[in-house]
Structure 1
Amino acid sequence: MTQPILSVSDFIAVVNQTLEYAYPGVEVEGEVASFKVNQDKFVFFDIKDHDGSVGCFMTVWQMRTPIEDGMKVIVSAVPKLTKWGKFSLTVKSVRPSGEGAIKKSFELLKAKLDAEGLFDKGRKRLLPPLPSRVAVVSSTQAAGYADFIKILNDRWGGVKIEVAQVQVQGESAPDQMIRAINYFNQQKTLPEVVVIIRGGGSADDLLAFNDESLVRAIARSRIPTVVGVGHETDLSLADMVADVRAATPSNAAQILVPDRNEVIRSMNARISSVLPRVISSIDYIRQSVRQHLENSVLIVEKEIDNNLFAVRNLSTVIRQLDPGNILARGYAMIRGDMKVGSVVEIETNKAILKAEVKNVSSK
């Protein structure tokens, strides 16, 4: 049987079709070598182990986690034969593999975002003292979610909770959480807080919370954010960029709302401490009012006495000046012109006399 003769381009196309059919997607683990970024758009590197090496290509915006030479990574890729006949992997995503690589990638991205000011304390916003509407980004199947809901309701019931069900680990987790955050931020009436939670896990399980795009989405949120991921010792970049970091999902609920019973106890204690002061103030006011009344009565009584004394004095003077009283003492009143020949009227205590003036002399 005669084999078909293919052109180079046809041969490469056949090989790529075969590869795509046999391996539509592969995950390859190895060490990064010859890492470089071209024109701030394209990323090239080799992934190798002790027996082999293969070239990798991806775009800058696909690289969600920083990598560098010597770092062990896992790439999700499609194998491909380039038109130059070079076998390579077209990478869809890359993530660090192993504790050392994860830590190194974490430190690289942390330094980058810190330099941009994303972790500055001045960016942090205060949470409302008692939110009535809370948005939750989590997996409802996770134990951390159940703990959060229980503690929130136990501490302060009646909070309206809106949940965006997402994956919280794995390759698709960051994009799902980003979409959920964006969804809540686009609502006409915004929730008061966005809470992102998941329970504990290994470093690989929590890798999604160190995704650069997710961290930037949290930083962009118009709504104050709380992130409670893993256990108290786990620290992700999502924790660092959030307005408030909760040690665990349970702690996130404790941060969001006060304990109703504790609030009642506190209010009762305050009332108990204030009541004696209120009673004392009332007693002081009562005594002050009584004293003012007593002083006012004394002032009025004194004023009355003074007025009575003045009236008595005036009455005495009036009596003394009464013409009747003067006549009773033997005096007489003369009415008329004091001219010789004039007739005048003389009034005594007992009679009124008429007399003619015979003589007038000066004193």
Structure 2
Amino acid sequence: MSIIITLCYNMKVENKGVLSVSEFNELINVYLSTMGEVNVKGEISQFRISQNKWIFLTIKDNAATVEVFGTIYNISNHRELEEGMVVQIIGTPRLYQKSGRFSIFANQISPSGTGALALAFEKLKQRLEKEGLFDPNRKRQLPEFPERIGLITAKGSRAYSDFAKILLERMGGLKIYFYPVSVQGADSTQSIIRAFTYFNQNNLNLDLLVLTRGGGNLEDLVSFNDEAVVRAVFTSKIPVVCAVGHEEDISLSDLAADLRASTPSNAAELIVRQRSELLTHIQSQARLIELGLNDIISESKRRVFQSISQLKNHVDQYLFRMQKHIVNFTNQYANFKHKLVLKSQQLETLIRILQNLDYRNLLAKGYSIAYTKDKKILRSKSQLKSNENMYTIVADGKIHSTVIKIE
């Protein structure tokens, strides 16, 4: 406060003690700017949205009122606000220079108190549910064996240590990319959104994201029920596991996530399987594979032996048929050979007969053959006349002669 007084004093000196209205308002704004952000709690007595861009509301307590101004781009939960709701305003106090009207420029408006938070929670839940953000059919299947995990939670928190401890106890060799965030407070909503933006825009080849924090009441979990955070969970290109609070705590981010875990430890249990359980499963599967292979080998052996037996039968039958053919052929060959011998003998006989009938053999024995001049065998003397020519064939040639006398 002493710094603020000094500042005002210095400005007053610089302005020589006389301020115009605009100078006075500017002086007050300078004074207010030194306060930084303030956190003010009150009941909404008036609330309106202008041009679908500007938010105007008045909050009050039992003794006073203050006006609040904001934009729908900063106040993502403006649809859940209504008159009569107790809220906390985080923003910067300021004085509008032209009118001298005092207000708070809101950076964040959060329902305050169990009743207001529960009302805002239900209103937002119903609206987002109608949009399909909680539809079970759009939830993605998580990889069975994740290797690269993005973790979004507070640095040094119990949620971080519980999650990491259980994860490493159950399965080693995992790579965790940790993005520290504020899980409650003025910057928590934007901090969580920045984490989702980072993981989705940087190509880290993550298998899934884990958003987690410890338990708390509705006021502690307000960031995880913020519409902007819920939409960041819903639109994430990477599957999201949400583990906010304890077993009984359910946030809207839980409902929008691909998988909801009751606690940070439970998230680790759902993401990875127990190493011993996995080894047992692998051994069981290996045994089933071995049994299956043995069955296949046994069946293959049976089929091979059956095929060998069938082949042997076919070969035996073929050999038997071939042996019969060989015997038949041998018998036929023997018959043929016997017939050939007989035919040879017959042929020799015929040859001898022919040789005996060959006139040249007769000629060699001293016989001769007489022919008339017309080359006809001379069989009778009547075939000749005196002085006719004739010829005689003997073994070694022809003899030509003339008939001198016929008796």
Same fold (TM over 0.5): yes
Mapping for residues 326-345 of structure 1, pairs under 5 Å:
327=342, 334-336=349-351, 342-343=357-358
SS in 1 for 2:156: coil
Q: Which residue of 2 aligns with 1:350?
A: none
State which of 235, 240, 243 in structure 2 corresponds to 1:228.
Answer: 243
Larger mean Cα displacement after TM superposition, 148-157 or 101-110: 101-110
Q: Which has the higher contact order (CA 8 A, sep 6+)?
A: 1
SS in 1 for 2:327: helix
Amino acid at match of 2:43: E
State which of 1, 14, 25 in structure 2 corresponds to 1:12.
Answer: 25
Structure 1 residue 121 corresponds to structure 2 residue 136: yes
Distance 1:14 1:241 in 2: 48
CA RMSD for the aligned pairs? Answer: 3.0
Can you give the 5+ residue segments of structure 1 that lack an aligned partner in the other structure? 345-363
Q: Which residue of 1 aligns with 2:384?
A: none
Larger mean Cα displacement after TM superposition, 306-315 or 146-155: 306-315
Shift of 1:336: 4.5
Distance 2:108 2:298 in 1: 77
Does the C-alpha gap of structure 1 residues 125 and 273 become closer, same or farther in structure 2, counting only changes over 3 Å?
A: closer
Q: Which has the higher helix share?
A: 2
Shift of 1:340: 12
Distance 2:28 2:204 in 1: 54
Does the C-alpha gap of structure 1 residues 36 and 305 become closer, same or farther in structure 2, counting only changes over 3 Å?
A: same
Shift of 1:317: 2.8
Contact 2:90 2:186 in 1 (8 A): no
Structure 1 residue 103 corresponds to structure 2 residue 118: yes
SS in 2 for 1:304: helix
Q: Which residue of 2 aligns with 1:145?
A: 160
Query: Aligned residues: percent identity?
Result: 35
Structure 1 residue 51 corresponds to structure 2 residue 63: yes
Question: Structure 1, residues 26-56: CA drift from partner, whole Å, max 9, x if none?
Answer: 3221111210001111111110123322222
Structure 1 residue 78 corresponds to structure 2 residue 92: yes
Distance 1:192 1:179 in 2: 19
Amino acid at match of 2:46: S
Contact 1:32 1:68 in 2 (8 A): yes
Mapping for residues 196-345 of structure 1, pairs under 5 Å:
196-323=211-338, 327=342, 334-336=349-351, 342-343=357-358
Amino acid at match of 2:171: W
Does the C-alpha gap of structure 1 residues 160 and 19 become closer, same or farther in structure 2, counting only changes over 3 Å?
A: closer
Can you give the 5+ residue segments of structure 2 that lack an aligned partner in the other structure? 1-15, 360-407
Amino acid at match of 2:235: R
Amino acid at match of 2:82: E
| TM-score relative to the length of structure 2 | 0.75
SS in 2 for 1:335: helix
Count of matched residue positions in the alignment of Structure 1 and Structure 2:
341
Q: Which residue of 2 aligns with 1:358?
A: none
Rg larger in structure: 2
| TM-score relative to the length of structure 1 | 0.83
Q: Which residue of 2 aligns with 1:186?
A: 201
Larger mean Cα displacement after TM superposition, 65-74 or 301-310: 301-310
Larger mean Cα displacement after TM superposition, 152-161 or 240-249: 240-249
